[in-house]
Structure 1
Amino acid sequence: MRRSYVGDVSLFGTLAYEDLVPADVKRLRHLRGLPSAPRTARTPRATHATPRATLRWDEHPDDSAMATAVIPLPVTVSHDRHEGVEIAMVIQAPKSMRPEKRRPRPKELHSKLSLIFEGNRFPEPVHYRNVDCMGIPSLLSPQECKKIIDFAESSMSFRDHFRSRVVDMSYVDFIDPCFANAFWSAGLGCLLRTMKLEDLVPCGIKEVIRIQKFVQGGYVSLHSDRPISLSDGRVSKYSLRIFLNSGSNSDISDSTDFEGGVSIFHVPFKEPVIFTASTGMALFYPQGELCTPQEESEVTFGTKYVLRADVLFRKAQRPELPKAGHDDHQSRIP
């Protein structure tokens, strides 16, 4: 197949542009074993010729290379009375024809859900004497809770979780590291900054977030939350439960989205501790052996939404000791 091009072109010698030739492309005499054409007084010099010429070149084996800005090709030049001169040349395409350089896409620093937070907050915790659980009123604002509910209802489909006399609810899990980081930075990390369990310190929440949905008749019977361990060494020690809407008999919110559905913590040898859901309120309690057995009572009217997350811990980093330099007074010889 032959191609022709008519117009003003600039011819440049290959040697002057050796650094522009791809590594897998050789000059013509190396590529096909053809000797270079001898130069005579009548042979046009490729380094200085800028004529209006007719160029015919062989089809390049790789069509994708024809779209590059600089292409080494064997050509046949017809100019004046001299034709059939074999040269190795570089065609410099005009800027308008050069392909745009593709810049790598920056990593996404935000997700749709991570942008719901209205700003940093400084929550005040509430400690209870009769149960190992910390309450955090208004950890999320009502507007933030509504956006989370709308996101779960519009973007995802809830899965039913039913076992007779054990659990009857729907849930959806989504993985969003951006939301987890934004949530931790919005105030929860500041609240837990002084917490320490032996040699472990809190470092964030797990990227997998669960939204629970309890319609009329929904419940969870007596259970305990189990800890998890990740491959990078992080472990979960505490659970975080946030009520996304309010139930009846709530002292903080006047509106009622559902009735029933209270959280009951069964403390050994004591009366159960009951929490009524209020919008944005969080419960922070231990997992595993230290977890107090708990249940979610049956919702008798409306729909209850709860966000569940695992708080992760890692080993505390020990401060590095300063290294002694050569001018240390202890290393000097008197």
Structure 2
Amino acid sequence: MTSKIYIIRNLFSSTLCKTYISFLTSLPLITTPGRPKKDEALRVNDRFQVDDASFAELLWSGTGLKELVCSSASQSENEDDGEKVDWDGEVLGLNPNIRIYRYTKGQFFGQHYDESVQVMHGTPPVKGRTSWTLLIYLSTCSGGETAFYPEPGPASKKGRAQSQPEPVVVGMETGMALLHRHGDECLLHEGREVTGGEKWVIRSDLVVRR
């Protein structure tokens, strides 16, 4: 499972997270519709979205994220086989489509898959596609964990179906980044209901050359 989930602790300092939250509260956040469109997961949160290549570059080059990803030297904490992380191609940077999420008590994001999208990245523009979701947590709260649901393994030689594996649950830490594969390799996942406090998230994606 570690080949699809990657955690970076303390990417942001707690002070920086507070500064971001102070600014983000001033943005015109929009509450998602109560009824999702066809084939969309039910979610209830407040969000803001903007295309900002400069901010995406700041997140990429100004936080140490670029060095961690491109070197592939840091491995997820449970990865003990010495293999480097597969980012699914030559990483170009982050998706300039920046999304801000705020979840308050009772809000959640139902089970869903994240799709890969094609983007033009950089100047001059290079053809790219997104391969991993990036979530940066600016706060902690009660509830609100991200739960991943692995698919059962293949049936045994006797034809017996494998039991459903236990979900992989990732709790939040202030300043922590969570990367997980999306597109064809995406695990079914959800953002569990917040039961207390507020959950603030900056969302982008890794972009690889196509």
Map 1:135-174; keep pairs closer than 5 Å: 135-154=7-26, 156-164=27-35, 166-174=42-50
Displacement of 1:162 in angstroms is 3.0
The alignment partner of 2:90 has SS state of strand
Displacement of 1:171 in angstroms is 0.3
Map 1:167-206; keep pairs closer than 5 Å: 167-186=43-62, 187-194=64-71, 200-206=89-95
Which of 231, 241, 244 is the aligned partner of 2:138?
244
For residue 233 of structure 1, what is the aligned residue in structure 2? 127
- For 1:176 and 1:146, the matched residues in 2 are separated by 21
Which of 137, 144, 152 is the aligned partner of 1:261?
144
- AA of the residue aligned to 1:236: T
Query: RCO greater where, 1 or 2, for CA within 8 Å and sep 6 or more?
Result: 2
State the superposition RMSD in angstroms.
Answer: 1.9
Displacement of 1:197 in angstroms is 5.6
Q: Is the Cα contact below 8 Å between 2:95 and 2:119 reproduced in 1?
A: no
For residue 320 of structure 1, what is the aligned residue in structure 2? none
Structure-2-length-normalised TM-score: 0.76
Displacement of 1:140 in angstroms is 1.1
Deviations 1:12-48 (A, max 9, x none): xxxxxxxxxxxxxxxxxxxxxxxxxxxxxxxxxxxxx
Q: How many residues were matched structurally? A: 174
- AA of the residue aligned to 1:314: R
- For 2:137 and 2:201, the matched residues in 1 are separated by 5
Deviations 1:41-75 (A, max 9, x none): xxxxxxxxxxxxxxxxxxxxxxxxxxxxxxxxxxx
Map 1:265-280; keep pairs closer than 5 Å: 265-269=148-152, 270-280=165-175
For residue 155 of structure 2, what is the aligned residue in structure 1? none
For residue 212 of structure 1, what is the aligned residue in structure 2? 101
Q: Which runs of 5+ in 1 are unaligned?
A: 1-127, 247-257, 316-334
The alignment partner of 2:117 has SS state of coil
Deviations 1:59-111 (A, max 9, x none): xxxxxxxxxxxxxxxxxxxxxxxxxxxxxxxxxxxxxxxxxxxxxxxxxxxxx
Structure-1-length-normalised TM-score: 0.49
- AA of the residue aligned to 1:234: G
For residue 282 of structure 1, what is the aligned residue in structure 2? 177
